[in-house]
Amino acid sequence: MLYNNEIIIKGRKIVKGYAEGKAIVSKDPISFLGGVDPKTGIVVEKNHELEGKSIAKKILVFPYGKGSTVGSYVILSLANRNLGPKAIINVESEPIIIAGCALANIPLMDRLEKSPIEVIKNEDYVIVDGIKGLVRIKKFMRKTIPKVKNKNDENILK
């Protein structure tokens, strides 16, 4: 993977810790109870932006949590099965997400200087330093293949 620039953003550290990995980002709030399958780590909520995608071992970025307080225990269950996110970044964390991350020891940050759902994109490499209160984003650079033509002016690479 090629990453061409890095952005560093300060934020509020809620659950201290350090994690890094590829981001998975949603502009939709997440309900862990009923919205994420605790046996697979796949988002199952109908019409959710991440429906059908796994949050396992990713840096999960979303605005805030929603739903039942039992969602905290779903986060713990996911972590115990190695299916939870490596870290969570919210626009604004609420008690369900805070409790779940604290129970599961998943680094959690919010209130970044810039909106994380606007700055972080899927596949960006993100480092969450919940000890220093910093998020480092290495932007994924999609490499384009140059057009190569032969002597008849026909594209060779497609």
Would you say residue 145 lies in a domain?
no
Three-state SS letters, 45-82 = CCCCCCCCCECCCCEEEECCECCCCCHHHHHHHHHHCC
Would you say residue 107 lies in a domain?
yes
Q: Containing domain of residue 95, as a range?
A: 3-140
| pLDDT at 140 > cutoff 70 | no
pLDDT bin (cut points 50, 70, 90) of residue 139 is confident
Would you say residue 152 lies in a domain?
no
> Is 26 one of the catalytic residues?
no
| pLDDT at 145 > cutoff 60 | no
Would you say residue 71 lies in a domain?
yes
Would you say residue 154 lies in a domain?
no
89-107 pLDDT per residue, tens: 999 999 999 999 999 999 9
Average pLDDT of the segment spanning 25-54: 97
Would you say residue 146 lies in a domain?
no
CATH number for the domain harbouring residue 58? 3.50.30.10
Average pLDDT of the segment spanning 26-43: 97
Would you say residue 14 lies in a domain?
yes
| pLDDT at 1 > cutoff 90 | no
**Per-residue b or e along 100-122, where b marks 16 or more CB atoms closer than 10 Å to that residue's CB:** bbbbbebbbbbebeeebbebbee
Report the number of distinct structural domains present in the chain.
Answer: 1
The SS3 of residue 112 is coil
pLDDT bin (cut points 50, 70, 90) of residue 17 is very high
Q: Which of 26, 31, 54, 68 is catalytic?
A: 68
